[in-house]
């Protein structure tokens, strides 16, 4: 084979290989590399007669350029293909309907608390919060519940030391407020409270209360009744009636338990009110003179009323739920219904 044919053969082999093999770099090395076939031909130029050398040299260059060009073309067609594939894989169909993110909502207890707060803020009350870890003094002593008072039994709680406990009611906020505010006082204090009660359908060691307190000159039980009646109508409907039953709380005198006419049967008696026609929803009374004096307010000048309710109890009635524990289990199937 003369050198011309040899060169043509190399070119043909290279182009054939490019058609069937995609490893461009090894093809380049095989034909154009330092130890490649074309370089070998160049090395054998010594055997070519001096007058033929320029022609052969030119031919070698043509073959080199042809192979280089073919490799380049192949490379850009690969890149083009890869780009097309990438574009296809990454296309966004802007006409496709979007995925809706799932948005949560307020817990039914929080919803109820907000509703209650709104009602009282609408009547001119302001919201005050207090610590959940409380001194015995604020939770009991200042509220006319000295150590060993039997009424402490109904509010047994968790003690951190002899004098520090988890508050069993939101009433300590009354004391804290009266200590550092001059009447007129008109506050509500929603928040978490604790009692050493085992959990059942109507009890939980953690629950929520909302307390109200009004202190001013000339405040009477009539004011208390008016406020609570308005509240009951807002929560349970326009036709709701309220009723006061005599009761005892150490920090109010007189004290009452307050019932609302049954929202389910309107008072005739049904399963919800257990045939009574009335449902108990809160405790209330006129602030005990002892408590006022304890907080630096002169009971001969000022009087006040207070009331306290369980937020869970209102939520149970509002949503028609019969087991308190459902509120704390964090079961989405339950929570999603409200």
Interface residue list for ligand PHE (CB under 6 A): 169, 171, 211, 249, 252, 283-285, 306-308
Q: Which is nearer to ligand PHE, 56 or 175 (CB)?
A: 175
CB closer to ligand PHE out of 32 and 175: 175
Q: What is the dihedral of CA 109, 112, 117, 122, to 10 degrees?
A: 170
Side-chain half-sphere exposure of 187, counting CA atoms within 13 A: 21
**Closer residue to ligand PHE, CB minimum distance, 183 or 308:** 308
- Report, in Å, the least distance between residue 309 CB and ligand PHE: 8
Phi, psi of 258 (to 5 degrees): -115, 130
Strands 133-135 and 126-127: unpaired
Nearer to ligand PHE, 53 or 248 (CB): 248
Q: How far is the CB of 245 from ligand PHE (least distance, A)?
A: 13
Which secondary-structure segment (H or E) carries 308?
Answer: strand 303-310
**Which CB, 23 or 179, lies closer to ligand PHE?**
179
Q: 169 vs 261, which CB is nearer to ligand PHE?
A: 169
Residue 210: phi and psi, rounded to 5, are: -135, 125
The smaller minimum CB distance to ligand PHE, of residues 27 and 255, is found at 255
Provide the minimum distance between the beta carbon of 257 and ligand PHE in the complex, in angstroms, as a whole number.
Answer: 9
Q: Whole-angstrom Cα distance, residue 31 to residue 34?
A: 9
Cβ atoms of 319 and 109 within 8 Å: the answer is no
Q: Which segments of 91-220 does DSSP mark as H helices, in order?
A: 108-122, 136-139, 172-180
Q: Distance (Å, rounded) from C-alpha 127 to C-alpha 172?
A: 14
Q: Which is nearer to ligand PHE, 71 or 235 (CB)?
A: 235
Q: How far is the CB of 130 from ligand PHE (least distance, A)?
A: 13
Alpha carbon distance 176, 304 (integer Å): 15
Q: What angle do CA 167, 253, 197 make, to 5 degrees?
A: 30
DSSP state of 98: P
Residue number closest to ligand PHE, CB atom: 308
Question: Least distance from C-beta 125 to ligand PHE, angstroms?
Answer: 14
**Given the complex with ligand PHE, which of 36 and 283 has the nearer CB atom?**
283
Q: What CA dihedral angle connects 281, 287, 290 and 294, to 10 degrees? A: 100
Provide the CB-side half-sphere exposure for 21 (13 A, CA): 14
How many H-runs (helices) and E-runs (strands) does the chain carry? 11, 9
Q: How far apart are CA 126 and CA 6, in angstroms?
A: 102
């Amino acid at each position: 084979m003369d050198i011309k044919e040899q060169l043509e053969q190399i070119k043909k082999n290279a182009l054939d290989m490019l058609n069937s093999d995609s490893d461009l770099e090894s093809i380049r090395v095989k034909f154009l590399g330092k130890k490649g076939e074309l370089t070998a031909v160049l090395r054998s130029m010594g055997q070519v007669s001096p007058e033929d050398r320029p022609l052969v040299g030119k031919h070698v260059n043509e073959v080199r350029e042809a192979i280089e060009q073919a490799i380049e073309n192949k490379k850009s067609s690969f890149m083009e293909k890869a780009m097309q594939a990438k574009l296809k894989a990454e296309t966004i169909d802007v006409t496709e309907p979007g995925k809706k993110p799932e948005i949560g909502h307020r817990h039914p207890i929080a919803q109820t608390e907000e509703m209650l707060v709104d009602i009282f803020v609408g009547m001119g009350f302001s919201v005050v919060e207090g610590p959940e870890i409380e001194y015995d003094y604020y939770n009991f002593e200042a509220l006319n519940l000295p150590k060993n008072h039997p009424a402490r039994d109904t509010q047994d709680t968790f003690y951190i030391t002899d004098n520090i406990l988890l508050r069993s009611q939101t009433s300590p906020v009354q004391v804290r407020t009266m200590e550092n505010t001059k009447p007129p006082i008109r506050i509500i204090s929603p928040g978490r409270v604790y009692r050493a009660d085992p959990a059942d359908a109507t009890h939980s060691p953690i629950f929520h209360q909302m307390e109200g307190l009004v202190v001013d000159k000339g405040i009477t039980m009539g004011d208390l009744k008016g406020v609570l009646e308005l509240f009951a109508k807002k929560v349970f409907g326009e036709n709701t009636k309220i009723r006061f039953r005599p009761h005892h709380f150490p920090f109010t005198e007189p004290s009452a338990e307050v019932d609302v006419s049954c929202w389910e049967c309107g008072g005739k008696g049904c399963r919800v009110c257990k045939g009574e026609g009335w449902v108990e929803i809160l405790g209330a009374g006129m602030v005990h003179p002892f408590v006022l004096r304890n907080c630096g307010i002169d009971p001969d000048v000022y009087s006040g009323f207070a009331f306290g309710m369980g937020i869970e109890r209102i939520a149970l009635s509002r949503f028609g739920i019969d087991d308190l524990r459902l509120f704390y289990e964090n079961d989405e199937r339950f929570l999603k219904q409200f």
